[in-house]
Structure 1
Amino acid sequence: MKSLGSIRRSFAPWNDPQARPYISFQNVTKRFADFTAVNNLSLDIYEREFFALLGASGCGKSTLLRMLAGFETPTSGRILLDGQDLSGIPPYKRPVNMMFQSYALFPHMTVEANIAFGLKQDGMPKAAIAERVAEMLKLARLEQFAKRKPHQLSGGQRQRVALARSVAKRPKVLLLDEPLGALDKKLREATQFELMDLQQDLGLTFVVVTHDQEEAMTMADRIAIMDKGQVMQVATPAEIYEAPASRFVADFVGSVNLLEGKVASRTGNSVVISGGSGAQISVENAGEAAPGAEVAFAIRPEKIRVSSKPPAEGHLNAMQGEVWDLAYLGDMTVYHIKLDDGQVVKASALNSARISDDPLTWSDRAWISFAPDAGVVLTR
């Protein structure tokens, strides 16, 4: 059985028809006056899942998280956690904890006092608190910073303190609202893997809100792409990238070329699409696209071959144009090819050798080509 992208782990309860969702949003709507932030949304999240809500600012993802935490009340619909309806349950009585982007650490308290704060509020015995704090310090690799105060820590260390405090109370679900937004790029990348490892070690359900595509693709088991208060697609990172469900998702995640055309013929699961310039595109696994339908062919830049010579396979899935622009990035070269019909296509090629045997530069004539299974047909 072929798979889309690399397999990260065998955990996939959403594929089991017997599995019961751990968190369930059922026809949830949230309105603020005349603005609808979340619009009749239904979504299931499973136990021990690392789930990401991904979308642009204002798409409703943070509102969804706040309703799950209890800071906002749905206008209509239900939210269930482990089968229990959360309506009417205040935030402090919900088995969830929320970690904010600002971290919200107490500046006058030490690291260990910050971690212990929630446990003391719950009336846990002193010996149990000390044991739990020691466990959290070790888990977050903060033992040597236990006596320091937040202003004496780096951004990454403060982030780990906030995380340790959030999981110290053993919530069933940890909610993270843009948790890595305050970190620099290099530290953010390292912390993404730390979060994944921590989630695996703790066995908790993580729900993270982010507008950073790379962050969601790196950390999440599944991603919900949101737009205007609705979920556009829910799938694994590989499925979102390799098999987007619509033009919106294809364009939102990563870089993509969208070639518009009409389905000229269909044989089994394969179709031939006629483009505006007369180009013929053969596509395998074309979904529900019917002959005569107006569709878009979506293909990622790395799936396109660029050459000064026409492909040996012939003119099917091949187009000619001019090198309109290019960028040498060290590990790869990015080409912008202006096709003869005027559309600019982006292609990328790994620089696996130090010297190219087919160098191309500005204004050169060039061919682009791709395999029949390199892209997907989008009907919406």
Structure 2
Amino acid sequence: MGAVLAKKSIGPVRREFVPWEDPDHPPFIEFRNVTKKFGDFTAVNNLSLKIYEREFFALLGGSGCGKTTLMRMLAGFETPTTGQIFLDGQDLAGIPPFRRPSNMMFQSYALFPHMNVEKNIAFGLKQDNMPAGEIEARVQEMLRLTKLEQFAKRKPHQLSGGQRQRVALARSLAKRPKVLLLDEPLGALDRKLREETQFELMALQEDLKMTFLIVTHDQEEAMTVADRIAVMDKGELVQVATPGEIYETPNSRFVADFIGDVNLIEAKVMETSEAGTRLKAGIGGYDIDTAQTTDASAGDTVWYAIRPEKVRIHLGEPGEGTVNQAGGLVWDIAYLGDMSVIHAKIGEGDHDVLKATFANVSRMVEQPITWDDKVVLSFDRDAGVILRR
């Protein structure tokens, strides 16, 4: 089937690939009403999810949310208590892990220490009795794709952490599974190498035109590599959407707070109309004029979620026409090199603050913001999102 192009997108997109927007497009992986219990503990609760061929999909959540259990059921290492799992139209019930058209790459890498890189990559192929000539060709292909040609004769202890990670990836891909399962694959790498490897994974997935499913607790990692993200909590899906949609239009306070940094402002609905909604902040008592419509009624309590980078900070009076203004006192400052983070106190409590971030685009600042400065914070009508739960 041809791809259905998105009518609109939030945030940058890597490619014109949106099969989830076509209701007739068959899923490649489907979890259908899957529940997994360990004794009295429910790890996954009546979960249904569709993942599409060639998608780079991320399961994201904190420890114990059920994301790894979900992946292990797909791999065959755990059995659903109830429900069904399908891969490429095949019901996986009763099929052992080694018979499934998937391969799993673990965080520990689990390389054979007595084998060199070539032999580690070739191990699974030899177990499948592939002809020697085909094994050699496949190993060389994997070495080239993962940029390991010059390390082919080295053993794992002679490699860096990033190189060992690529060996494990090459070994997982050598059997050409229909789907590659990645369980926290970059957790052992330092931050800079992890960021570099994320882009290498994306390029590799694009080259191979394979389906990748990654489990991670790292929000930035999921936002970087994935076409779509499923945010999980307590064994359930909270939101499934593209990275831009997850970040800009979270469907709950949990998602807004879990993904990135956010100001969550409790407020009362004052007025609703087709042009937007007017709120009154519970702390600070300032008006919030938004372009968003809502099904909440006047007097209802809601939360207004706005990202710190969308909040402007003024040392003097804002310009004419500036909407959504809140006065405050600079309470805390963090200089991060590329950006600065300002916490401005707007209420009496220690946590009654609004956060604002701004890029440090020049090396010199004529009038720097410092502690105890009186400031005004402002933001546009379409800068945030109203949440009801």
For normalisation by structure 1, the TM-score amounts to 0.97
2:207 counterpart of 1:207: no
2:343 counterpart of 1:336: yes
Report the identity percentage: 66
Q: Distance in 2 between matches of 1:273 and 1:229?
A: 34
Please tell me the residue identity of whatever aligns with 1:297. Y
Q: Distance in 2 between matches of 1:315 and 1:295?
A: 23
Match runs of 1:75-114 below 5 Å: 75-114=81-120
Distance 1:269 1:49, change over 3 A: farther
Q: Distance in 2 between matches of 1:312 and 1:141?
A: 54
Please tell me the residue identity of whatever aligns with 1:348. T
Count of aligned residue pairs for this structure pair: 380
Is 340-349 or 236-245 further displaced after alignment?
A: 340-349
2:273 counterpart of 1:267: yes
Contact 1:28-1:76 at 8 Å conserved across structures: yes
Q: Distance in 2 between matches of 1:331 and 1:148?
A: 39
Is 364-373 or 285-294 further displaced after alignment?
A: 285-294
2:333 counterpart of 1:326: yes
Identify which of 263, 274, 293 aligns with 1:286.
Answer: 293
Q: Distance in 2 between matches of 1:83 and 1:285?
A: 41
- Offset at residue 356 of structure 1 (A): 3.0
Please tell me the residue identity of whatever aligns with 1:28. V
2:235 counterpart of 1:229: yes
Q: 1:249 maps to what in 2?
A: 255
Q: Distance in 2 between matches of 1:266 and 1:62?
A: 42
State the secondary structure of the residue aligned to 1:373. Answer: coil
Identify which of 187, 194, 204 aligns with 2:200.
Answer: 194
Contact 2:56-2:228 at 8 Å conserved across structures: yes
What do residues 89-127 of structure 1 show as CA deviations (whole Å, max 9, x unaligned)?
Answer: 111110000000011111111111111111111111111
Please tell me the residue identity of whatever aligns with 2:254. F
2:356 counterpart of 1:347: yes
Contact 2:274-2:293 at 8 Å conserved across structures: no
Contact 1:307-1:358 at 8 Å conserved across structures: no
> Which blocks of at least 5 consecutive residues in structure 2 are unaligned?
1-6
Match runs of 1:132-147 below 5 Å: 132-147=138-153
Is 230-239 or 352-361 further displaced after alignment?
A: 352-361
Q: Distance in 2 between matches of 1:47 and 1:199?
A: 12
What do residues 154-180 of structure 1 show as CA deviations (whole Å, max 9, x unaligned)?
Answer: 111111111011011010000000000
Q: 2:374 maps to what in 1?
A: 365
Distance 1:42 1:313, change over 3 A: farther
Q: Distance in 2 between matches of 1:169 and 1:358?
A: 60
Q: Distance in 2 between matches of 1:144 and 1:236?
A: 37
Contact 2:277-2:294 at 8 Å conserved across structures: no
- Offset at residue 341 of structure 1 (A): 5.5
Contact 2:323-2:379 at 8 Å conserved across structures: no
Q: 1:376 maps to what in 2?
A: 385
2:49 counterpart of 1:43: yes
> Which blocks of at least 5 consecutive residues in structure 1 are unaligned?
none
What do residues 292-317 of structure 1 show as CA deviations (whole Å, max 9, x unaligned)?
Answer: 32110000000000011232345741
Q: 1:8 maps to what in 2?
A: 14
What do residues 209-246 of structure 1 show as CA deviations (whole Å, max 9, x unaligned)?
Answer: 00111111110111111111011000111111111110
- Offset at residue 58 of structure 1 (A): 0.6
Q: Distance in 2 between matches of 1:355 and 1:65?
A: 49
Q: Distance in 2 between matches of 1:307 and 1:297?
A: 21
Please tell me the residue identity of whatever aligns with 1:361. T
